[in-house]
Amino acid sequence: MPEKKKKAKEKISLLISFLDEENDEILQNIEHELLSLNKQENTILKQLLGDIENPEILNKVNNIVALNNFKFSETELFHWLSSSEKNLYELLTIIAEIEYPDLNGASLKLHYDKMLRDIWASIPAESSSLDVAKLLKFYLITTQKFKLAPPDSVSVKHIMINDVLNTRETNKIFLNIFFLGIARGLGIPITPLMIDGLLIMAFENKKPYTISFIDNKYLFFIDSTTLSPYPEAKLREKFSIKEEEELPVSPFSDVEIVLTLLNYLGSFYLQNKKELISDKIKSLIELIAGN
């Protein structure tokens, strides 16, 4: 074992040994030290869980490990929110690390990048916007066999990118965000919108897909359940919007995407009585929404 890691392990073991201290001030200082560990040190703390025999101390250390892991994900999330180019794959990985702190992000990235290359290679030159949208759907639904879980099925695995790439089963929230991430990664101008409280996707009238005789902002829309493209007329019919009226759509921002994922995750943890993390997620949601 490298000397640096050995010393870190000795230091952390010593801190754990003081967790049965009856002096509140000393105990608070010990807990503060453990809650200040970096990512590598927290991994050592997690490895030492098997050596703890006292159930009360074991539970306490488990909570500290979980809180530290959440702190690391929170830091990465704020870094993502402040970045100029927001890669949705990276966001989904950060969200997955809340549940799986030891996630192998590099392996997932290789898988994701291969998907981007495969889709790009399947798009013929001079393809129309409609052709591109249909190819995206074909690749995800037919080739990769992504499918929606039953409507009454609620699982944290449905929004964990590693689980979804493994099982190909997800929910509508993740499917749409993943679809948007693929489109963004390929430079395809598909954007998320809200209408009447519902998430929809639109293919923007942008180069190289601009149609000269149409000056609409959006060429067509994409169904959030089937990923099938459909015309604006169908959207107007669904929401009873007259042809002369402006479409009452608003952008669905990256911040709103983050809040949607966190709300789902927080609700899941609350339902499964993981109040410690659900409370942290609630505080994080309030912080992001308030900025």
Asked whether residue 108 is assigned to any structural domain, the reply reads yes
The beta strands (E) that lie in the chain are given as 147-148, 169-170, 190-195, 198-204, 218-222, 229-230, 250-251
pLDDT over 70 percentage in the chain: 100
Residues 196 and 242 both lie in one domain? yes
The residue behind tokens 């949208």 is 133
Residues 14 and 112 both lie in one domain? no
Taking a C-beta distance cutoff of 8 angstroms, is the pair 136, 183 a contact? yes
How many domains does one find in the chain? 2
- How far, in Å, CA of 163 to CA of 156, rounded? 9
Residues 97 and 47 both lie in one domain? no
Residues 59 and 113 both lie in one domain? no
Residues 102 and 239 both lie in one domain? yes
Torsion angle defined by CA atoms of residues 277, 280, 286 and 291, in that order, rounded to the nearest 10 degrees: -120
Residues 112 and 53 both lie in one domain? no
Residues 229 and 97 both lie in one domain? yes
Asked whether residue 125 is assigned to any structural domain, the reply reads yes
Asked whether residue 235 is assigned to any structural domain, the reply reads yes
Q: What is the pLDDT, as a whole number, of residue 7?
A: 86
Asked whether residue 56 is assigned to any structural domain, the reply reads yes
Query: Is the model's pTM score more than 0.85?
Result: yes
Residues 242 and 175 both lie in one domain? yes
- How far, in Å, CA of 114 to CA of 86, rounded? 19
Give the list of residues 6+ apart from residue 10 with CB closer than 8 angstroms, or none.
Answer: none
pLDDT band (50, 70, 90) for residue 125: confident
Asked whether residue 30 is assigned to any structural domain, the reply reads yes
pLDDT band (50, 70, 90) for residue 37: very high
Rounded to the nearest integer, the mean pLDDT of the chain is 92
Residues 215 and 97 both lie in one domain? yes
Residues 153 and 217 both lie in one domain? yes
Taking a C-beta distance cutoff of 8 angstroms, is the pair 15, 34 a contact? yes
Asked whether residue 22 is assigned to any structural domain, the reply reads yes
Task: Report the range of poorest mean pLDDT among 21-25, 38-42, 159-163, 275-279.
Answer: 21-25
DSSP sequence for 23-35: -HHHHHHHHHHHT
Asked, as a colleague might, if the bond just before 2 is cis with ω within 30 of 0, I would say no
What does the block give as tokens for 262?
A: 């966190």
pLDDT band (50, 70, 90) for residue 266: very high
- pLDDT tens-digit series, residues 48-107: 988 888 999 999 999 999 999 999 999 999 999 999 888 999 999 999 999 999 898 888
Domain that includes residue 100, residue range: 88-252
Give phi and psi for 34, each to the nearest 5: -70, -35
Q: What is the pLDDT, as a whole number, of residue 222?
A: 96
The residue behind tokens 């929809």 is 200
Asked whether residue 79 is assigned to any structural domain, the reply reads no
